Each structure stands twice: as structure tokens, then as C-alpha cells.
Structure 1
């Protein structure tokens, strides 16, 4: 079945978009700015280009849906330009339902995203899901769907990618989702499998265009940087991407001379590196899915990993020399997150985008930009904050008037709207931004454009028929149709919605938190690009990051408190529902 799907996908006549990354300013490591450009081919119109300035963010989905958002919300959120779809959530059916979508750009059309505005990428697994999984095999990856674990082979994944035609595809990776430490033999297997699965996805496609001069279509592939918590293993994997191929391996990916030539960007999934949370009781327990890290830069038991003796490597495949990976007992110190990322990136080209998923705080985002030069982050932490009722409230760079409170306490990064103190707080969600309704031409404070702080009234009547068009035609050219902001939704109103379990509360909070995250990265780009001298830009940016860390609480204590309040409200509702059911049964 997979082979039949693959052959059918290779007959698709549409062309894949061209993805490029332009590094405007920056070095191998340190703050940098650039542009992600996706050019969509067109037969009759000029090619359409989606231009995303970096550093920027992507947002993940659940079954193709941005959490708490309708399609209209996604289209109206100007900060959302890159959306990632985890395909494992569709694997309960064989073949998966999205593969039935016909026509060009099937992934966009099936999920309802705007091809003129949104880059849509496809990964097999959710990069934020680090729960323990059955081990992968030499020819399959374990993926989790509603009906349990499914085994997905590289041939299956290639067929899904070619059928769905995403703008960007993530290659399969053999990431061990089992308790650390991992042996040297396991790390070697992980590197070899990941490289082999990448090579399978990079195999050339058939040229399906009628024109003999048309170039062979190519996929835009991001690769997860394997190697776990071993710096030497990470360097070994990076070298395997850049080394020249020979023989059958070279023929399989021809005309590529090495795997890195076919790679569009590098991905780092931090979920397996962060401290592992307690195991989930069930797959459908949404409450267990909301996790807030105690320390966003802590690694998964890396100290124990460094002290683990090297196992017998007699069975290690010969394609990767064991000398490339230092025995774990040789590691005198546990590597930090910066050291792991640098070990992966040091042998690789500078001018390719770097994506990091499962960041846990704005502080971690700023540090990764300052120390590593990361270009794209996921917005999962901002969505999780909205899940537990937190409205983010911070700004970068920090204005001079945003000093510490009189008691020398650092500012919280947001407001826990479950807290009773907000029950009668009738102001907008943020202190760092103005609401659109309160904007003035003389104020230097930026406006939060989200649907919660700056709701917009309809600029024209809603027309349901030709009669409506005629009745309102006289008012269409009178010059009165202009953008009008309504008063913002207040903290007291969101507090009420959260305690009454209204879904609109989380929709407004996600819209707000994504807008604050977008403003953070806009401020980052402004500072870095505002200085032509790279060393000067790096120094000024580092000072601003230090000031941000001095003003805002890096322990994220407001999120931990909000999570506890969210649980209390959740359990209170469950107990009430249980009592209601019992009362009905008695009657």
C-alpha cells in the first residue's frame, strides 16, 4: 500500500515551492538576523513569495488545528506565518484521511490555511511530546495516535510527504524517548538511523512537468540534529551530513554530493533534553499535558549520563566509526545546552536556518539568540501559558521606566487571571502595551494588536444577499469606512470566563500571548539590525538581554501558581459534574 501511494504521489503534477534563507547579518554563533523566503510557483501569475524575517516563531497544531483557534483566528493573527502539523495524530486510519485530499497544495486545502500567507511544515511526531515511547527499530519509527502506537517506515513517511506536499518536511529521526542514560551503542544507532532516513527522504523525485527544461522538483527538508546529550555524538552526526558520499550511497541521492546539500535547515528538539516530567496516566488526560519546567535550561539527567561506563561496542555497525564518539566515561563535566548546540552547528554551514522547539521561557529564547544564533522558535510555551490562564505581559527591549518594584522583586512575565485579585480589575491584559482603543499619536508605547486588547469592529455591513448590497451601496463611498477599535477585553472579564469554563477565554489568551511573543522577536530584530557593526550589535543586544533578566522573573513562578489554580478549578468542575450525575441517578 505504501509503495502504491508513493507511485501515485510521484505522478502529482504540481511543483514544490522553493525555500531559501538569506542571512542578512550574523556569524556562526551570536545574534543574527535573516529572512526565510518561500516562493510558490505559478503557471499564469507571477510567483508568490512569503518573506518571514528572523528571529521568528512557528506554532504547532493538534490534528492540524492551532489550539483554541478557528481558521478565522489564524488568518487574523498577523504574527502567525509558519504552522507545523504533526502527522501522527492522523494515523488512526489506514491510509490517513488527509491523504485523500486531491489537487494542488493538498495540506493547505485540507486544513484550511492560506497558501499566500502561511508556510505549513509536516513532521511525523509532535516535537513537544517527550513521553516515553516504545523503541524505534532499524526500519520504523514509533508514532502515537488516538488508537495507540503505530510503526511508520521511511517508505511510509516519504509517501505521506509526497502526497501531502508540505512546504517543509522534517526527516525522520531516531530520538530515544526512554529514560536516560543512553549507552554509546544506542547513540551510534541513533546517528546511523537518522542519517539513513534522511538520505531516503532526499532521494530525487521524478520530474512530472511536461517541459523538458524544467528542473527536477526537490523537497525542502529540515533535519533533527541527533546525538542526545553527548557533544561528540552530535559532532559525529554533523560530520556525517557533510562528508562526501561514494558508491551506492552517492547514487541514491544523486546529484547531491553530501546529505547537507539537500538539507534546508537544522532542527533541535529540546523536549528530550529538558528534565522529564512525570509519566502521563492516559493519552487523553489534557491536564497532564500542561507542564511548566522548573528550570528551562536543565538537561535530562546529563550528569548521570556523563558518569555511565561505556558498554561493549562489538556490535556497533561499521558505517560509523566508534572512535567518532568519545566514551561517555571520558566526559568530565555534563555538557550544557549551549555546548550541545554548538557541537552540532560548528561543522555545518552558517547560512542555513536553525529551529529550536520546546523552549520554556522568553529568557531562554533571548539566551539562545545571544549565545547560539537561533533563527526560529516554537510558540508552544506561550500556548501552554494560555491553557492555564496566564496573559503574558513583558516587552523587549525593556523601557527605562520598567524598573523593579519598590520591594526589589522582579516583575512576573504575565498575569495569572485565575487569581481572585483580578475579579474586579477592569483594565486591559497588559501593562507593557496600549490597547488599540487607547492609542494616541503622541505615545511611544506600542499597541498590542491581538483580538483581546485591540478588537476591531466591522468596517462595512455584512451582506447576505444582493438586496443588502443595494441597500448599503450609498454608504460604501462616503469615506466613513475606517478601522475602529472597540474597548479591550478586561482582566476581570477573562477571570470570569476562566472560572465559568468558557472556551473563548483561551482563544483570547492565545491570541494575546502569540502577539506578545511576536513583539518580543520584533524587538530582537530591531536591536540587532539597527547596528551595522556586528560586534557592536552583539554587545548592545547582550546588555539588553541582561536588563531583561534583571527586570523579569526567570523562575516563571506565575506559571506554577497558575497551573495550581487551574487544577483547582478543573477538579471543582469535575466534582460538581460527578455530584450532578449521582443526583440524577438517585432521582
Structure 2
């Protein structure tokens, strides 16, 4: 442990016992250094990020690799204490449970939210889930943090009537959830922490809901789930002390820095796994470690599909100390990608999570020493604004990548094998052609081929 880490450890050890503590802040609206602690879980220094999971597992990473080769402190899985045992997730890991995946899935207009339910994507299509069933289910599962069910429109413009409808539903669902928790009379320390969902509009446009948060359920809400940064612009003072968990889909590290500068404490980062699937090894640090201004901005990632890496014995990123970079080289990873070996994406996922760990550690250090704003400006000058474009083929599409396009959509994964000579099979399975059948019909049945 270095001197900086030692100072941070001392600061965390001296914190009060409440769930979330703000160590240092630059003002009412701005970046802040904090600490999220729950009984029996690893202390999460903020700003930080949650690893996004699919069915309770970080894509490409098995649980032994999760524990031994990454520093992931928290995940939002599809379950909790019983599921923790089922998926063999390490006990110190913070678990967050919500109804909406990140990034979300666009629901068809034929499956709208109602006053009592939301539309969710399941293995058998879109189905309604009642708000009461959700509240009952999450309390039984007992995750560390529950994201309250919200009517959060996605993919459609929000008019005044739609915002009013969402506000009314959120008030009703949150009050019912809080009442159910209080009626259960479970010990305060054993209950999951409840984060209220903020619809993606300004607080002024959902004033009745904000009044409910600051008055009726103020003692029952432990944090806020944010879906759009516009919700923080006029957030009332009574709610600013709460931890803010963002489901805002930042697409670049620049966007992460912007959201942290507006007061976000914990983020979910979809581009991390998207880069892994694209065969890109993330390559950026904060603060930017360039000693002088580069002639050209640095790239944010290395595309392992490029032929230049076919014989390269360099690590994925020079100087990186992650498992992938200390044990393997670029040529090996590119060979794995070309062979479609699962290990390619395992190594990239380990490296990319390590890169984000160091990125957030650097953010927290600059917040401690007061140089965050200056380093954000420097980072914008040193690095390109966008991640590299995808050039290669990713792994087979999994559930976390699924995007509904409507009825009759084709299969997401092409068949890996095709019949060598399917014409004979077609002929054997087809009925005999009629005497009036033309050449085109005979060819379609596999009876003959038209000679040219």
C-alpha cells in the first residue's frame, strides 16, 4: 500500500458509521469525495463504478476470475442473498438490484407501462410486472441496495401529460413500497437500502414527487437513482446529501468526468463491456500521464483486431499491471480473437475493468488534493473524444446485448454450420412436383438445376 492509499485508508477508518459519508466537496453542486459503507460489505470509496452483470455474472468473467483477477467492488445483479449463494459471488461484494437493465431495452408501444405495472423484457417476450410484486420480490431477495421501481420512459419524447402520469405513478409506487417495508417491521440494519428513482426530467417538472421525497418518505429513502443529469440541475438542498447512483450510460471517459463534476457518486458504464466485445483494450489514465502536449490526441483504446498486432509481443497496454498484460501479449490476444476463443474476451474484460479501477482511483486522488478540475481540462486535451470504432466481429450475442426490434425479427446469431448438400434433403422432404411444374419450381425443390 502506497502513502496515498494509506492516507485514504485512515480517512475511511475515521468515518462515522452511517451508510454514506461525504469526505470532501467543492460546493453545493460539484464533484465530491465520499464513502459508501454497508455492514459485511467492502467499503466503496466514491466516485466509483458498478460492474454491469447479466443474470448476476459480469460478462466473460467466471466467479473465480472475478475474485482473483479483478478489483470490482460492486455489481448490480439479478438477485441477492439467496442468489449470491447460487451464483457463488464473493460475500464482500456490494449487490444492487433494480428492474431496469443498463443499457435499457426499448419496449414496443404495444407493451406500455400502466398505473400498476411496468413492461419488462423476459426470455419469453415482453411481460407486465406489477409494482406490488416487484416490491414484495426485492424485499424477499434482500439485496444490499434496492432501486425503487419507477415509471422511467425510454426512447420516446416526454410531453407534459406523460411526465404528469409518470410522476403520479412514481409517488404511488414509492409510497406503497415504503409502507410494505415498514409493515414488515424488519430490523433497520437488516433491510436493504432503498434508492428512489428520479424520472429523466428536471425537478421542477416533477415537483409533487420531489415533495414526497423531501417530506413524506424522507426518512425511508437512502439514496437516489439518476437517469438523466437534468434531474440534478435543480435538486433541492434536502436531497443533496444522499448518494447518487447514475444509470445514465456515459459513452466515453470524458462523459464520466462530466457527470462526476455534477455530483454523481456511483456510475454504471456500458461502454466498458461494449469495448471488450469489440476487441478493444482501453488505454487511458487519470490524471493524463503525458509530460507534454502531444502533436495528436491519444487514442482511448487499442483495437486488438488490427493486423499490426499479429506478431507484437507487447502487452495490451504498455506499463499495465493487470493479469492480462503481465501474462500475455497482443499477438496471442489477436490469435484468440481470430479463432473466436472465449479467452480473448476474458482477458480483455479483466484488463478493461482494471483500467477503470485505476481511472476512478486517480479521480478520487485529485479530489483529495484539489486538482480535479485542472486535470479534467488536461484530460480533454490529451485524449481523443471518442473510443475507436469497432472493426472486428464480437462474440455471439448474449442476453445483455439484446435489443428488441419488434415482431418477426431475425435471429441475433447466425448459424455456425450449414448443411453441406442440402438439395438432397430438400428433395427427400418435398412432395413430388406436379406435371405442370415449371423449371423454377423444380429447382427450388432440389429436383434439378438450371443449366446456363
TM range (shorter): 0.7 to 0.9
Q: Is the CA contact 1:135–1:176 (under 8 Å) kept in the aligned structure 2? A: no
CA 261–127 in structure 1, closer or farther in 2 if over 3 Å, else same = farther
Q: Is the CA contact 2:198–2:231 (under 8 Å) kept in the aligned structure 1? A: no
User: Is 1:158 aligned to 2:158, yes or no?
Assistant: no
Determine the structure 1 residue equivalent to 2:197. Answer: 224
State the Cα RMSD in Å: 2.6
- Give the Cα–Cα distance (whole angstroms) in 1 for the partners of residues 309 and 424 of structure 2: 39
- Give the Cα–Cα distance (whole angstroms) in 2 for the partners of residues 582 and 200 of structure 1: 60
Determine the structure 2 residue equivalent to 1:31. Answer: 31
Determine the structure 2 residue equivalent to 1:364. Answer: 255
Determine the structure 1 residue equivalent to 2:97. Answer: 122
Determine the structure 1 residue equivalent to 2:21. Answer: 22
User: Is 1:262 aligned to 2:209, yes or no?
Assistant: no
CA 508–493 in structure 1, closer or farther in 2 if over 3 Å, else same = same
Determine the structure 2 residue equivalent to 1:497. Answer: 336
Determine the structure 2 residue equivalent to 1:189. Answer: 165
Determine the structure 2 residue equivalent to 1:582. Answer: 420
Which structure 2 segments of 5+ residues have no match? 1-16, 398-412, 426-452
Partner of 2:378, secondary structure, is helix
Deviation at 1:130, TM superposition (A): 3.8
Q: Is the CA contact 1:207–1:217 (under 8 Å) kept in the aligned structure 2? A: no
- Give the Cα–Cα distance (whole angstroms) in 1 for the partners of residues 61 and 231 of structure 2: 35
Deviation at 1:584, TM superposition (A): 7.1
Among 135, 143, 154, the alignment partner of 2:112 is 135
Determine the structure 1 residue equivalent to 2:400. Answer: none
Partner of 2:75, secondary structure, is strand
Aligned length: 388
Q: Is the CA contact 1:354–1:375 (under 8 Å) kept in the aligned structure 2? A: yes
Length-normalised TM-score, structure 2: 0.79
Partner of 2:128, secondary structure, is strand
Deviation at 1:239, TM superposition (A): 3.0
Deviation at 1:242, TM superposition (A): 1.0
Length-normalised TM-score, structure 1: 0.62
Alignment of 1:423-502 (within 5 A): 423-431=310-318, 433-434=319-320, 448=321, 450-454=322-326, 488-502=327-341
Partner of 1:67, secondary structure, is coil
- Give the Cα–Cα distance (whole angstroms) in 2 for the partners of residues 385 and 349 of structure 1: 35
Alignment of 1:20-419 (within 5 A): 20-26=19-25, 27-39=27-39, 48-86=40-78, 105-115=81-91, 117-133=92-108, 134-180=111-157, 182-203=158-179, 204-207=182-185, 218-226=191-199, 228-230=200-202, 232-243=204-215, 258-270=216-228, 337=229, 339-343=230-234, 345-357=235-247, 358-370=249-261, 372-401=262-291, 403-404=293-294, 408-419=295-306
Deviation at 1:340, TM superposition (A): 4.0
Determine the structure 2 residue equivalent to 1:565. Answer: 392
- Give the Cα–Cα distance (whole angstroms) in 2 for the partners of residues 58 and 144 of structure 1: 22
Deviation at 1:269, TM superposition (A): 2.6
Deviation at 1:527, TM superposition (A): 1.1
Determine the structure 2 residue equivalent to 1:548. Answer: 379
Deviation at 1:86, TM superposition (A): 3.8
Deviation at 1:555, TM superposition (A): 2.5
- Give the Cα–Cα distance (whole angstroms) in 2 for the partners of residues 518 and 188 of structure 1: 40
- Give the Cα–Cα distance (whole angstroms) in 1 for the partners of residues 206 and 350 of structure 2: 37
- Give the Cα–Cα distance (whole angstroms) in 2 for the partners of residues 72 and 262 of structure 1: 36
- Give the Cα–Cα distance (whole angstroms) in 2 for the partners of residues 568 and 139 of structure 1: 38
CA 132–19 in structure 1, closer or farther in 2 if over 3 Å, else same = farther
Deviation at 1:341, TM superposition (A): 2.6
- Give the Cα–Cα distance (whole angstroms) in 2 for the partners of residues 262 and 231 of structure 1: 19
- Give the Cα–Cα distance (whole angstroms) in 1 for the partners of residues 188 and 245 of structure 2: 28
CA 234–524 in structure 1, closer or farther in 2 if over 3 Å, else same = farther
- Give the Cα–Cα distance (whole angstroms) in 1 for the partners of residues 83 and 416 of structure 2: 39
Deviation at 1:353, TM superposition (A): 0.9
Partner of 2:43, secondary structure, is strand
Q: Which moved more, 1:146-155 or 1:198-207?
A: 198-207
Q: Is the CA contact 2:300–2:386 (under 8 Å) kept in the aligned structure 1? A: no
Determine the structure 1 residue equivalent to 2:450. Answer: none
Query: Over residues 376-402 of structure 1, what are the superposed CA-to-partner deviations in whole Å (9 max), with x where a residue is unaligned?
Result: 111321111001100001111112436
- Give the Cα–Cα distance (whole angstroms) in 1 for the partners of residues 175 and 414 of structure 2: 53
Deviation at 1:53, TM superposition (A): 0.6
Partner of 2:284, secondary structure, is coil
Deviation at 1:497, TM superposition (A): 0.7
CA 231–121 in structure 1, closer or farther in 2 if over 3 Å, else same = closer
Deviation at 1:206, TM superposition (A): 2.7
- Give the Cα–Cα distance (whole angstroms) in 1 for the partners of residues 210 and 246 of structure 2: 16
- Give the Cα–Cα distance (whole angstroms) in 2 for the partners of residues 170 and 545 of structure 1: 30
Q: Is the CA contact 2:70–2:353 (under 8 Å) kept in the aligned structure 1? A: no
- Give the Cα–Cα distance (whole angstroms) in 2 for the partners of residues 80 and 398 of structure 1: 22
Deviation at 1:215, TM superposition (A): 5.5
Partner of 1:582, secondary structure, is coil
